[in-house]
Structure 1
Amino acid sequence: MEFGLWQRWYNDILDDFGFSQEDDEYCAKQLDEILFKQNPLTLDDLYLKVTNNRKIDKCIVFGAGPSLKNNIIELKNDYDLNDYVLIAADGATTALIEERIIPDIVVTDLDGKLDDILLANTRDSAVVIHAHGNNLDNIIDYTPYFDNVLGTTQSKPHGNLYNFGGFTDGDRAIFLAVALGAQEVLLAGMDFGDIVTQYSRPDNEKFLQEADDIKKKKLEYAEKLTNWVSENTNVDILFL
């Protein structure tokens, strides 16, 4: 998604949630400065890392919804995962690790289970770290511990940061897959419902819990943006 088009979505998001563009941009500036010292990945670097110079035009994006674990088991049993680039949305990384699968890429704003995201990174997952106004402390505290990082922002891209479009970790992972050249994106654990899991919200008391109003609204945007990709690109978006 071109930034000019994304900016229309972004303006609506700022209005709907009362977010501050200035806070988003300040956090993005901090992430950019950290990555400047770490030799971050470019999009081309990321492509070469996850494809090993092979042409792979299919991705699986793993969300952290209630269907995730069953979807992972089905994929293990019925699909050859070597045919796909595996992209985990933040907390979905934990469910993959539980099934002894290391994603090729983790897309995160650093509010999933960080121990598992760090473990995946040590096992060669690339990490796409996203800066927004509400995760400044985690950006500063944890970004330096990761290798093979590509940075993103939800405001105007600059420096070492990209903006491929997308709002939540899950739909941003879809936009990343499109940017990597995927022709088919299979969605696992992407439910867009009113129930969240501890994969998505590790601090929840119950494994399954009703989403709060803000989370529900975020999931509504995630679904709309996923539908936009399906309707406005040549990429096939498939649900498991």
Structure 2
Amino acid sequence: MKLEEWFKIYIEIARDFGYSIDEDRRAAIILKEMGNGKLLDKEVLREKIEGKEVVVVGGAVEKPIESQTIITAGKSLIKWMKITSRVPDVHVTDLEEGAEILKKVEEKGCVLVIHAHGDNVELIKEIVPELNSFVATTQAEPFDRVYNFGGFTDGDRAAIIAKEFGARKILLHGFEFKAEGVKGKKLVWAKKILELEGII
């Protein structure tokens, strides 16, 4: 997704949810500062993804699936690690799963992609010091190894990353786009973004 395309969507999302773009920018700066010396170059993702069949795992996952590359998104990691011993190759997160499981998969070779937004600053401060390395992302302007690949929820952002870094094939596994309340509203946007990107 081109940045100019993403920013048009992002402004709409910010208005829809009442998000502060300035707070998103502040969160990205904090992630950069907290991650000083830990920030990976985005090309580590290309090594995991380019030319490969990629399965992106969503929160409704119930059974494991085989693929050259597995990308988990958000809390799907918790379910994934309960149903299979295979550690994902990449995990895309805004840190809601907590430090323990993130440390565990990182130690086993999973590349973490950590996203900063205005509502997860406290989690960034709490968890980032516990980690060794990660790719940093923002939904605002990218800078100094804090990247913006586009995408709103962990799930659609993970799928966009698969596309961005040259996946041969992308399969969504354990994705549902219906829920109540704010979560449901977020999933409407996630589905719209994935449709715009031609992933679904």
Q: TM-score, normalised by structure 2?
A: 0.93
SS in 2 for 1:124: coil
Q: Report if aligned partners of 1:90, 1:117 keep a CA contact under 8 Å in 2.
A: no
Q: Report if aligned partners of 2:98, 2:127 keep a CA contact under 8 Å in 1.
A: no
SS in 2 for 1:12: helix
Q: Where does residue 201 of structure 1 map in the other structure?
A: none
Q: Would you say 1:87 and 2:71 are equivalent positions?
A: yes
Q: Report if aligned partners of 1:59, 1:177 keep a CA contact under 8 Å in 2.
A: yes
Residue correspondences, number? 199
SS in 1 for 2:152: coil
Distance 1:44 1:115 in 2: 26
**Between the two proteins, what is the percent identity of the paired residues?**
32
**Counterpart selection for 1:157 from 111, 130, 142:** 142
Q: Which runs of 5+ in 1 are unaligned?
A: 195-210, 231-236
Quickly say closer, same or farther: Cα 1:113–1:31, change in 2 above 3 A: closer
Tell me whether 179-188 or 108-117 shows the greater mean CA deviation. Answer: 108-117
Q: Report if aligned partners of 2:51, 2:168 keep a CA contact under 8 Å in 1.
A: no
How far does residue 224 in structure 1 lie from its aligned partner after superposition? 0.5
Distance 2:193 2:168 in 1: 17
Q: Which runs of 5+ in 2 are unaligned?
A: none
Q: Where does residue 36 of structure 2 map in the other structure?
A: 36
- Structure 1, residues 40-74: CA drift from partner, whole Å, max 9, x if none? 211113323x36xxx63221100102xx113x2xx
How far does residue 225 in structure 1 lie from its aligned partner after superposition? 0.7
Q: Would you say 1:229 and 2:197 are equivalent positions?
A: yes
For 2:182, the aligned partner's letter is I
Tell me whether 116-125 or 148-157 shows the greater mean CA deviation. Answer: 116-125
The structure with the larger Rg is 1
Q: Report if aligned partners of 1:94, 1:113 keep a CA contact under 8 Å in 2.
A: no
**Counterpart selection for 2:173 from 183, 188, 208:** 188
How far does residue 150 in structure 1 lie from its aligned partner after superposition? 0.1
How far does residue 113 in structure 1 lie from its aligned partner after superposition? 4.5
Q: Report if aligned partners of 1:34, 1:144 keep a CA contact under 8 Å in 2.
A: yes
Q: Report if aligned partners of 1:128, 1:152 keep a CA contact under 8 Å in 2.
A: yes
Q: Where does residue 203 of structure 1 map in the other structure?
A: none
Cα-Cα RMSD: 1.5
Distance 1:147 1:180 in 2: 23
For 2:80, the aligned partner's letter is L
SS in 1 for 2:62: helix
For 1:62, the aligned partner's letter is V
Q: Where does residue 130 of structure 1 map in the other structure?
A: 115
Q: Where does residue 87 of structure 2 map in the other structure?
A: 102
SS in 1 for 2:29: helix
How far does residue 119 in structure 1 lie from its aligned partner after superposition? 1.2
Tell me whether 173-182 or 106-115 shows the greater mean CA deviation. Answer: 106-115
- Structure 1, residues 1-55: CA drift from partner, whole Å, max 9, x if none? 11111010000011000000010000000111222332x211113323x36xxx6
In the TM superposition, structure 1's runs of 4+ consecutive aligned residues that sit over 6 Å from their partners are none
Q: TM-score, normalised by structure 1?
A: 0.79
Q: Where does residue 215 of structure 1 map in the other structure?
A: 183
Q: Report if aligned partners of 1:168, 1:218 keep a CA contact under 8 Å in 2.
A: yes
Q: Report if aligned partners of 1:43, 1:180 keep a CA contact under 8 Å in 2.
A: no
